[in-house]
């Protein structure tokens, strides 16, 4: 099935535990069926209810034990999934911080958030569902079939033959449905998005004077969407039809042959009834594999995607100690070039420069000249394709060094303000800063007056989606710089600041 | 529920009844299959003279088996057909409700996002029908059938069954629903918090890296995930124990059914062949009730969607007299806007506009400058006739703006902050300005806004889908497409609602140059919050607290107003002269 499954930590003991429980469960299912059949056939033979009551109690206990085993198995899978999910999430978060803003931008910040928050949840759900299912479908039908084989060979053969036929049909029909869906994919996508698209653009339609007549379009497209969907469903449902059809047909066939054997006196009622009760149990695990298909698929894909990210080479390989920047420190960039896969032209070519001590350096260039790339290189968010750096004469291939990054303050065009108090935003880099230090930093940045005018002063919540945003940007731009920076990279902070 | 669920079931009661009937028959036929099989082998065990004695049950077993599969297939299709029809109607209805109030949905979020969420809500309700509503009704139907059938033989037995199956059909689901509702709400709240927090972190990821403290963050994040997990574990074990109890009830019902069948046999009412049949049928039928509790307990997850839809009420649109007769008589070549002593406020105490007067002749170019909340947007809506003045009047060629209704888009076009580009070809997107425009007219408009060459270089030229182009269209280019639309719309008045917000100064300057070049001769009303490009306007108004505080041409204001000089110096892009074309 999914080879990645076996690479997870502690997978083997979990599988072993599940296998043992499933084996016990298989035996219990057979006991349950046997005693129900036994009770019924005894009653049929004229035994009194009081006499068969013991058998019914065993049936009942088997039923309960079977369910308890299911609960136990679900718990094992649940805790394993939760644990694996947590480990996955921790490594993923770690990796995200290592890959940095460049990766987040490529992937899309929304996507990244969804992957961590939803992706892990789906992956967990997948593990939780798939493990017991795999075990059940691998063991229970086989156990039941072998048991039946010893009672009545013909029934066992019918059941054993039904499965490959059933699977073959499901695959064929599944493929047909997929082909049809693929063929229609584009128009399907267009139709299904049409309504959302119309509502999102309603304001524009209104201004264009088209909004009222657009209702006809919506009804038309909705109806076309319905017809297209029904066309696909007609084929998609065929595979579960095949599953139902062959299951029912096999059970019916088994029942008929059992009847014939009984008439001919070749077997007794108890055995026949046991087989008849076991027949649906035989198909149950196979039918369950197909259930929750989407949840399973989503989770599997999410797991794959997360693994891909975890396998990405991160920039921070080995950490060299980098001393604090001083007036005698030197930094040089030698022959640094950057090539991106999607472009023939190098983004940066053979960059050289040398800096010593505390300097103020401006980097000027038109858009597309490579300024942002250079900043990402200097911030350690990107490794150069070739070239090297030297800090105090010590060679480094990338600047993805924690010691280096903690000495940098980066003030971008659009600085990000966290949804938190002004106070916490100012001391973001130094959470241990005292009230005095924060006040002093604010004063040096010329913000004291502005902060005083805020409703709650330093305790005012600022950040995404609130109306102090413009001021917040100003606040951050000014404050964090004075917050003991060692080296600063300024990226057009005063470029377009209007309002 | 009353508004968004039941009316549709009434409307499609035929199809609805069919879906429920087929769903019920599917399960009953499953029971009948097991019943006949049990009967068949019991009968066979009596070793009748010939196989013909069991011929009827043999046929029955096959017929029920095949019919069950067919019924299940047809039933699922009928259910989906019904739901898709309902969704179709819901979409049309939602659109009809929202369309008249499109310009008034005010919120901190962008209007488009809210409306998009509503569309998703409708899609979401699809699952409510298919996974909760239909199975519940089918279960009720089967419950009724079983009780009635049992009642035909023995009333006490029917009552006993009603109580025991009732545990599965009513008690279990109701308790589950109540328990899950609170747990789900708690979970959703915490998850939402975590979502916001984590989004914040991802947006500020560079800062976290520079701070070197992300390990602490990961720890903090994990603590919160741990709390969520605890909640989930509680839910998980609740579901587990519910399932165990369900199975106990199932076992009890099977034993009761066997006991009863045996009693009947002893009394000579049934032949002993029926005992096996009853036991097996009970097992198969009762199993169909087991998923019900799980489904019903998820109802609460659809309530948010329903609530949002219910909250959208048809608003009585501002008094609109269809001026269809008069709109033909409108002179589109000479349109004068006259605003006389206009006051407007959503509440009576704080008017957004206070005794505001202004006259705009055809071809005049006016900039209205003000902070956000100064009433700029409200003024634009009043001019567009979307709002009715509290006092005073807005006259367009002597007619009240709000009475012009559907004639307004013929009079004025709008360029706003985020023009929406639809998920269709570039060609169709531009042509929206005038659906009757020929291809040549579209090309002409694209040439005027200087996009023609860029579009021709796209993989499929004008037929390229807007969304496939991804980020190929920058903010400035998107505005140019909107401008091309406006050109095709060819109205005497163009309203500009901060179309250059978020663009860099060079793009902004270029876009403004194109706008002013292509809109020659048209009246322009331009709302903006800074002074870039205002020198090209005939008249500049400063709007503060609903009143005009400065008024005049650029030259006049520069001469007479110290404050204007200061503001202009502040906003003037310092390097434009030297950098504009050099880089």
Closest A-chain CA to B37? A255
Closest A-chain CA to B84? A226
Q: Given CB atoms, is A494 within the 8 Å cutoff of chain B?
A: no
Q: Given CB atoms, is A273 within the 8 Å cutoff of chain B?
A: yes
| Average pLDDT over every residue of B161-169 | 95
Residue showing tokens 């913000």:
A447
Whether the pLDDT of residue B577 is over 50: the answer is no
Q: With contacts defined as CB-CB under 8 Å, which chain B residues touch A491? A: none
Exposure b/e, B200-225, CB count within 10 A at least 16 = b: bbbbbbbbbbbbebbeebbeebeeeb
Whether the pLDDT of residue A495 is over 50: the answer is no
Say what the ipTM of the complex is. 0.80
Q: Given CB atoms, is A210 within the 8 Å cutoff of chain B?
A: yes
- Strands ordered across the beta sheet of A330-338: A348-356, A330-338, A386-391, A394-396
Whether the pLDDT of residue A493 is over 60: the answer is no
| pLDDT on residue B321 | 46
Whether the pLDDT of residue A136 is over 90: the answer is yes
Whether the pLDDT of residue A315 is over 80: the answer is no
Residue B502 sits at φ, ψ, to 5 deg, of 85, -5
Q: CA A120, A124, A129, A130 torsion: positive or negative?
A: positive
Contact between residue A73 and residue A22 where contact means Cβ atoms under 8 Å apart: yes
Answer yes or no: do A195 and B416 touch at CB < 8 A: no
**How many CB pairs below 8 Å do chains A and B form together?**
349
pLDDT tier for residue B399 given thresholds of 50, 70 and 90: confident
Helices (H), B397-474: 408-411, 426-431, 439-448, 452-456
Contact between residue A395 and residue A389 where contact means Cβ atoms under 8 Å apart: yes
| Average pLDDT over every residue of A247-269 | 90
| pLDDT on residue B329 | 59
Whether the pLDDT of residue A48 is over 80: the answer is yes
Greater confidence (B80 vs A313) lies with B80
Greater confidence (A483 vs B539) lies with B539
Residue of B38, B45, B247, B252 for testing the chain A interface, max A β-carbons within 10 Å = B45
pLDDT > 70: what percent of chain A? 88
| pLDDT on residue A379 | 85
Where exactly does CATH 3.40.50.300 map onto chain B? 362-374+406-573
Where exactly does CATH 1.20.1560.10 map onto chain B? 6-311
Average pLDDT for chain A: 83
Mean pLDDT lowest for which of B109-123, B203-217, B370-384?
A: B109-123
Whether the pLDDT of residue A498 is over 60: the answer is no
| Average pLDDT over every residue of B490-514 | 87
Average pLDDT for chain B: 85
Contact between residue A330 and residue A390 where contact means Cβ atoms under 8 Å apart: yes
Residue-wise pLDDT for B143-162, tens only, equals 999 999 999 988 999 999 99
Q: Given CB atoms, is A168 within the 8 Å cutoff of chain B?
A: no
What DSSP string runs through A130-180? HHHHHHHHHHHHHHHHHHHHHH-HHHHHHHHHHHHHHHHHHHHHHHHHHHH
Residue-wise pLDDT for A155-214, tens only, equals 999 999 999 998 888 888 878 877 877 777 666 667 777 888 888 888 888 888 888 888
| pLDDT on residue B73 | 95
Q: With contacts defined as CB-CB under 8 Å, which chain A residues touch B298? A: none
| pLDDT on residue B106 | 52
Residue-wise pLDDT for A138-147, tens only, equals 999 999 999 9
Of A43, A240, A365, the CB nearest to B258: A43
pLDDT tier for residue A360 given thresholds of 50, 70 and 90: confident
Answer yes or no: do B99 and A190 touch at CB < 8 A: no
CA distance B579 to chain A (A): 9
Exposure b/e, B80-119, CB count within 10 A at least 16 = b: bbbbbbbbbbbbbbbbeebbbbbbebeeeeebbebbbbbb
Contact between residue B506 and residue B578 where contact means Cβ atoms under 8 Å apart: no
Mean pLDDT lowest for which of A416-430, B11-25, B43-57?
A: A416-430
Answer yes or no: do B80 and A230 touch at CB < 8 A: yes
Residues 423-442 of A with CB under 8 A from B: 428-429, 431
Mean pLDDT lowest for which of A36-45, A151-160, A269-278, B386-395?
A: B386-395
The pairing of beta strand B337-344 with beta strand B391-396: antiparallel
Whether the pLDDT of residue B471 is over 60: the answer is no
d(CA B467, CA B472): 9
Greater confidence (A422 vs A88) lies with A88
Whether the pLDDT of residue A3 is over 70: the answer is no
Whether the pLDDT of residue A497 is over 60: the answer is no
pLDDT tier for residue A316 given thresholds of 50, 70 and 90: low
- Strands ordered across the beta sheet of B399-400: B353-360, B337-344, B391-396, B399-400
Give, to the nearest 10 degrees, the angle between helix A120-151 and helix A153-200.
Answer: 160
| Average pLDDT over every residue of A32-56 | 92
| pLDDT on residue B400 | 87
Residues written for chain A = 499
B400, β-bridge pairs: B395
CA distance B168 to chain A (A): 16
Residues 367-406 of A with CB under 8 A from B: 367, 379, 381, 402, 405-406
Residue-wise pLDDT for B430-467, tens only, equals 999 898 899 999 999 999 998 898 888 888 889 888 76
3-state helix, strand, coil in chain A (%, to 5): 70, 10, 25
| pLDDT on residue B111 | 61
d(CA A295, CA B101): 38
Whether the pLDDT of residue B574 is over 50: the answer is no
| pLDDT on residue B582 | 32
Residue-wise pLDDT for A54-103, tens only, equals 999 999 999 999 999 999 999 999 999 999 999 999 999 999 988 888 88
Fold for the domain defined by B6-311:
ABC transporter transmembrane region fold (1.20.1560)
Whether the pLDDT of residue A450 is over 80: the answer is no
Mean pLDDT lowest for which of B85-89, B281-285, B326-330, B424-428?
A: B326-330
| pLDDT on residue A407 | 83
Q: Given CB atoms, is A258 within the 8 Å cutoff of chain B?
A: yes
Q: Given CB atoms, is A129 within the 8 Å cutoff of chain B?
A: no
Task: Tell the CATH superfamily of the B362-374+406-573 domain.
Answer: P-loop containing nucleotide triphosphate hydrolases (3.40.50.300)
Mean pLDDT: which of A175-179, A476-480, A485-489, B247-251 is highest? B247-251
Q: With contacts defined as CB-CB under 8 Å, which chain B residues touch A100? A: 205-206, 209
Domains annotated on chain A, with CATH = 3-311 (1.20.1560.10), 330-405 (3.40.50.300), 408-490 (3.40.50.300)
pLDDT tier for residue A481 given thresholds of 50, 70 and 90: very low
Whether the pLDDT of residue A453 is over 80: the answer is no
- Which residues lie below 8 Å from residue B29, measured CB to CB, with a gap of 6+? B64, B67, B68, B71
């Amino acid at each position: 099935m999914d080879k990645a499954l076996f690479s997870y930590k502690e997978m083997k003991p979990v599988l072993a535990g599940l296998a043992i429980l499933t084996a016990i469960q298989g035996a219990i299912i057979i006991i349950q069926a046997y005693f129900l059949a036994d009770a019924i056939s005894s009653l049929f033979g004229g035994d009194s209810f009081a006499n068969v009551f013991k058998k019914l109690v065993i049936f009942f206990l088997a039923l309960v034990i079977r369910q308890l085993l299911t609960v136990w198995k679900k718990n094992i899978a649940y805790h394993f999934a939760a644990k694996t999910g947590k480990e996955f999430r921790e490594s993923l978060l770690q990796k995200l911080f290592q890959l940095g803003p460049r990766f987040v931008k490529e992937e899309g910040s929304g996507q990244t958030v969804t992957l961590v928050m939803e992706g892990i949840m789906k992956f967990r759900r997948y593990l939780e569902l798939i493990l017991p299912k795999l075990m059940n479908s691998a063991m229970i039908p086989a156990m039941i079939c072998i048991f039946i084989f010893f009672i009545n060979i013909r029934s066992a053969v019918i059941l054993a033959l039904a499965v490959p036929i059933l699977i073959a049909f499901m695959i064929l029909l599944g493929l047909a449905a997929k082909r049809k869906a693929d063929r229609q994919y584009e128009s399907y996508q267009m139709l299904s998005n049409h309504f959302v698209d119309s509502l999102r653009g309603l304001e524009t339609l209104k201004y264009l004077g088209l909004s009222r007549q657009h209702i006809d379009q919506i009804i038309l497209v909705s109806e076309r969407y319905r017809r297209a969907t029904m066309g696909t469903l007609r084929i998609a449902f065929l595979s579960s039809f095949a599953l139902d059809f062959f299951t029912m047909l096999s059970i019916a066939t088994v029942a008929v042959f059992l009847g014939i054997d009984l008439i001919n006196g070749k077997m007794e009622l108890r055995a026949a009834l046991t087989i008849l009760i076991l027949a649906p149990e035989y198909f149950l695990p196979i039918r369950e594999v197909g259930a929750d298909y989407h949840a399973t698929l989503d989770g599997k894909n999410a797991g794959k995607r997360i693994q891909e990210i975890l396998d990405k080479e991160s920039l921070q390989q080995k950490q060299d100690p980098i001393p604090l920047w001083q007036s005698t420190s030197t930094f040089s960039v030698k022959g640094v070039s950057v090539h991106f896969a999607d472009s023939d032209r190098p983004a940066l070519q053979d960059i050289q420069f040398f800096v010593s001590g505390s300097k103020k350096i401006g980097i000027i260039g038109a858009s597309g000249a490579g300024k942002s790339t250079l900043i990402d290189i200097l911030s350690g968010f990107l490794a150069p394709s070739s070239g090297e750096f030297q800090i105090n004469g010590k060679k480094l291939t990338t600047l993805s060094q924690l010691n280096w990054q903690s000495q940098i303050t980066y003030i971008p065009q659009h600085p990000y303000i966290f949804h938190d108090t002004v106070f916490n935003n100012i001391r973001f880099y130094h959470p241990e800063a005292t009230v005095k230090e924060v006040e002093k930093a604010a004063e040096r940045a010329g913000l004291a007056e502005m902060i005083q005018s805020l409703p709650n002063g330093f305790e005012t919540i600022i950040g995404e989606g609130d109306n102090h945003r413009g001021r917040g940007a100003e606040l951050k731009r000014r404050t964090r710089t004075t917050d003991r920076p060692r080296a600063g990279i300024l990226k057009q902070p005063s470029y377009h600041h209007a309002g | 529920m009353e508004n968004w669920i039941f009316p549709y079931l009434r409307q499609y009661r035929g199809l609805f009844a069919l879906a429920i009937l087929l769903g019920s028959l599917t399960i009953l036929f499953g029971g009948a299959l097991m019943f006949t099989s049990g009967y068949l082998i019991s009968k066979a065990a009596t070793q009748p003279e010939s196989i013909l004695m069991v011929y009827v049950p043999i046929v029955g077993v096959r017929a029920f088996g095949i019919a069950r599969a067919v019924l299940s297939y047809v039933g699922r299709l009928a259910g989906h057909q019904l739901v898709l029809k309902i969704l179709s109607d819901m979409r049309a209805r939602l659109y009809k409700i929202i369309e008249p109030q499109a310009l008034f949905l005010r919120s901190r979020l962008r209007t488009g996002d809210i409306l998009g969420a509503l569309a998703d809500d409708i899609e979401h309700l699809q699952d409510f029908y298919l996974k909760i509503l239909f199975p519940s009704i089918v279960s009720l139907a089967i419950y009724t059938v079983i009780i009635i059938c049992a009642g035909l033989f023995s009333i006490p037995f029917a009552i006993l069954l009603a109580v025991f199956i009732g545990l599965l059909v009513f008690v279990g689901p109701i308790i589950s629903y109540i328990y899950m509702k609170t747990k789900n709400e708690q979970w959703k709240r915490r998850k939402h918090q975590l979502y916001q927090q984590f989004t914040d972190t991802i947006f500020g990821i560079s800062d976290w890296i520079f701070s070197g403290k992300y390990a602490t963050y990961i720890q903090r994040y994990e603590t919160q995930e741990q709390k969520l997990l605890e909640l989930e574990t509680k839910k998980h074990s609740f579901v587990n124990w519910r399932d165990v109890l369900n199975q106990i009830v199932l076992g009890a019902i099977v034993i009761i059914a066997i006991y009863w069948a045996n009693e009947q046999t002893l009394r000579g009412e049934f032949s002993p062949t029926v005992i096996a049949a009853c036991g097996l049928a009970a097992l198969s039928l009762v199993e169909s009730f087991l998923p019900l509790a799980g489904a019903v307990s998820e109802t609460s997850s659809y309530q948010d969607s329903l609530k949002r839809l219910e909250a959208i009420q048809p608003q009585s649109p501002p008094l609109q007299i269809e001026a269809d007769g008069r709109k033909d008589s409108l002179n589109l070549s000479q349109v004068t806007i006259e605003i006389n002593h206009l006051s407007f406020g959503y509440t009576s105490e704080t008017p957004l506009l206070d005794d505001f007067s202004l006259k705009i002749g055809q071809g005049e170019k006016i900039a209205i400058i003000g902070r956000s909340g100064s009433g700029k947007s409200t003024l634009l809506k009043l001019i567009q006739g979307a709002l009715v003045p509290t006092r005073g009047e807005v006259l367009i060629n002597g007619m009240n703006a709000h009475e012009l209704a559907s004639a307004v888009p013929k009079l004025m076009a709008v360029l706003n902050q985020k023009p929406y580009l639809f998920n269709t070809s570039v060609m169709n997107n531009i042509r929206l300005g005038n659906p009757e425009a020929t291809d040549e007219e579209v090309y002409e408009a694209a040439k005027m806004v200087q996009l023609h060459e860029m579009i021709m270089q796209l993989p499929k030229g004008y037929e390229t889908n807007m969304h496939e182009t991804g980020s190929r269209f920058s903010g400035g280019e998107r505005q140019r497409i909107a401008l091309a639309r406006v050109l095709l719309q060819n109205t005497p008045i163009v309203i500009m609602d901060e179309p250059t917000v978020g663009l860099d100064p060079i793009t902004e300057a270029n876009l403004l140059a194109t706008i002013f070049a292509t809109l020659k001769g048209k009246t322009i009303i331009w709302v903006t919050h800074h002074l870039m490009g205002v020198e090209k306007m005939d008249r500049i108004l400063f709007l503060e607290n609903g009143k005009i505080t400065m008024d005049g041409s650029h030259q006049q204001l520069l001469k007479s107003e110290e404050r204007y000089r200061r503001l202009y110096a502040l906003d003037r892009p310092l390097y434009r002269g030297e950098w504009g074309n050099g880089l």
